[in-house]
Structure 1
């Protein structure tokens, strides 16, 4: 199955409206174009971008029921916009904060937000500002893809966060740090939604107390 037909198959399986499909497709095009000049991702081919940076977050979002969630999401180490931009496109009712410290990648995120008119999405150059901006009483989840837990812990282990707990969901194998509790691993496959080929990803879930 080619990248284009796979993309169509995946999007049709989830019954997205035409605007959502167009935005997801445009994200792939923009990322592939920018990635030729700025290293945003190791995935160079559009088919790989679709699978790893679009379909994987899509499956995770469906698995965790983000369509009916009222939480705020902080994408730590957003860089190429996955998973935060994907969540923003899928669920405009959610408040999405993208955190990226590198200026060139921030420029990319700013461009994508503007081009796709993602009014529910804001970007920050540090997680402290992103967390401060969260609005009570909604809960906040920190999502991570291709970033180590130690990097997150280093950012959160500041005096002002002493005693606070943070809900974490991380793509890939769990890399524990002291204080991380309630670790659960969710093996998510596309088989439940009859997608082909079968995608299998792992999202680890935990509560980090600093």
Structure 2
């Protein structure tokens, strides 16, 4: 998917990108490839693949669910800024917070945000477990996203404490897994969430499926969660 096709496909979905937004995506691509030579940001570096599997893939969240324009969105373990920064380019009114445990990635993101001229983007070098216990961030976000490869019961403990009541946690997954969802349901309930639905979309060109697991925050998360760094992975809630 080259930039023109990216623009046309989004247009067909009702998302019109301006020349300025297209320039931001182009600069994003250039910086991603440039920095990737110094540090491991992504295994995907071909332009057509970055536009499809990173940029378009990130925006599928907005094609799956309705995002409030000026919502506060926290992206946990964002890596090279996916899905939150492509969403920020498309929807500039979103207020974005990114937390990542690797300081090198945060340095890249600081450069990226500055170069792209993005406002209302906050970047934090922290573990999600300690970030979620901080009063200024706990239960503060309309939406929390994770595009990480961790299992859902682990992601739920890292993300749901950050979601405000009546907000949503969106877990972005490449494949459907009833087993993973079944395994995670006790954790989701314990943490104050409720699984609503699995929204499936297909990527253009390849037809690869993508899933947005929609989890609503119905009750406050018990204070003991998230547990200390490493614990959610070592001993997932069952």
TM range (shorter): 0.7 to 0.9
Q: Distance in 2 between matches of 1:88 and 1:115?
A: 14
Q: How far does the alpha carbon of each residue in 1:89-116 deviate from its partner, in whole angstroms, 9 at most, with x for none?
A: 1111111001111011111111101111
Residue 155 of structure 2: aligned partner: 152
Is 1:189 equivalent to 2:188 in the alignment?
no
Residue 19 of structure 1: aligned partner: 20
Which of 194, 200, 205 is matched with 2:214 structurally?
A: 205
Deviates more, 1:122-131 or 1:22-31: 122-131
Q: Distance in 1 between matches of 2:135 and 2:95?
A: 13
Q: How far does the alpha carbon of each residue in 1:49-87 deviate from its partner, in whole angstroms, 9 at most, with x for none?
A: 111110012222133222x44421001001111111111
TM-score by length of 1: 0.78
Aligned-residue Cα RMSD (Å) equals 3.0
Q: How far does the alpha carbon of each residue in 1:160-179 deviate from its partner, in whole angstroms, 9 at most, with x for none?
A: x6xx8673111114644333
Deviates more, 1:147-156 or 1:16-25: 147-156
Q: Is the 8 Å Cα contact of residues 75 and 96 (structure 2) preserved in structure 1?
A: yes
Q: Is the 8 Å Cα contact of residues 71 and 140 (structure 1) preserved in structure 2?
A: yes
Change (3 A) 1:47 1:156: closer
Q: Is the 8 Å Cα contact of residues 198 and 214 (structure 2) preserved in structure 1?
A: yes
Deviates more, 1:196-205 or 1:18-27: 196-205
Residue 46 of structure 1: aligned partner: 47
The residue correspondences of 1:106-185 to structure 2 (distance < 5 A) are 106-126=106-126, 127=128, 129=131, 132-133=135-136, 139-148=141-150, 149-153=152-156, 155=158, 167-172=168-173, 173=176, 175-176=180-181, 177=184, 178-180=186-188, 181-185=194-198
Q: Distance in 2 between matches of 1:53 and 1:103?
A: 21
Change (3 A) 1:154 1:91: same
Structure 1 residue ranges without an equivalent (≥5): none
TM-score by length of 2: 0.70
Residue 57 of structure 1: aligned partner: 58
**SS at 1:169 equivalent:** strand
Residue 7 of structure 1: aligned partner: 6
**SS at 2:42 equivalent:** coil
Length, aligned pairs only? 198
**SS at 2:104 equivalent:** helix
